[in-house]
A = this chain, B = another copy of it.
């Protein structure tokens, strides 16, 4: 066990001691919402959107991108658990804008050690043998944060398993201020047809 695991488990014991009425929560989200957002460590969807346990589904990946896996999750969210409003929340200063997929695959091909961010971009630092597997992965990096929200809302909106009555909103989270900023073009695409 590492120190981090010890800390996590100690925090969990404390959390469980005050669990109280949360033990009777059902799987159906109370506020009928689902949030798709980035895995970024700075972003706590519950805190920044005022959500309590039981309120909302939260789906997260690198970039908050609308992948097939996200479609799978969102369909389960509305079809079996009744969510009606979905938020796609990307954020400023996203690492997915700072590198291209080809550059990442090149780094992985050279070494599996962590890369280091240098003033001129990323470089490899380790000596572990790399793998060419990265060239077969679409890393879903992007260039324009707001446009990417529009693209992801649009993909979800037009998926054949997403009903028209679901409302989808597009937002950018500003990591410098904690504010959620609407991306109007995305939310427009997300209104019920």
Chain B residues within 8 Å of A41, by CB: 25, 27-30, 53-58, 81
Q: A39–B34 contact, CB under 8 A?
A: yes
User: 11 additional contacts, CB 8 Å, given A14-B50, A34-B39, A76-B95?
Assistant: A4-B31, A7-B50, A12-B49, A15-B47, A27-B95, A61-B70, A80-B122, A112-B161, A113-B163, A131-B160, A133-B160
Per the 8 Å Cβ criterion, residues 45-91 of A in contact with B are: 46-51, 53-62, 67-73, 75-82, 85, 87
Chain B residues within 8 Å of A5, by CB: 85, 169
Q: List 11 A-B contacts (CB under 8 A).
A: A11-B51, A14-B50, A15-B48, A15-B178, A16-B178, A19-B177, A23-B177, A41-B54, A44-B53, A68-B137, A76-B95
Min C-beta distance of A19 to chain B, whole Å: 4
Min C-beta distance of A114 to chain B, whole Å: 5
Q: How many A residues have CB within 8 A of the partner chain?
A: 98
Q: Does residue A153 face the partner (Cβ distance < 8 Å to B)?
A: no
Bound Cα distance from A27 to B108, whole angstroms: 20
Q: Kindly report which residue of chain B lies nearest to residue A59, judged by CB atoms.
A: B39
> Closest 5 CB pairs between A and B?
A11-B50, A69-B69, A16-B178, A19-B178, A62-B73
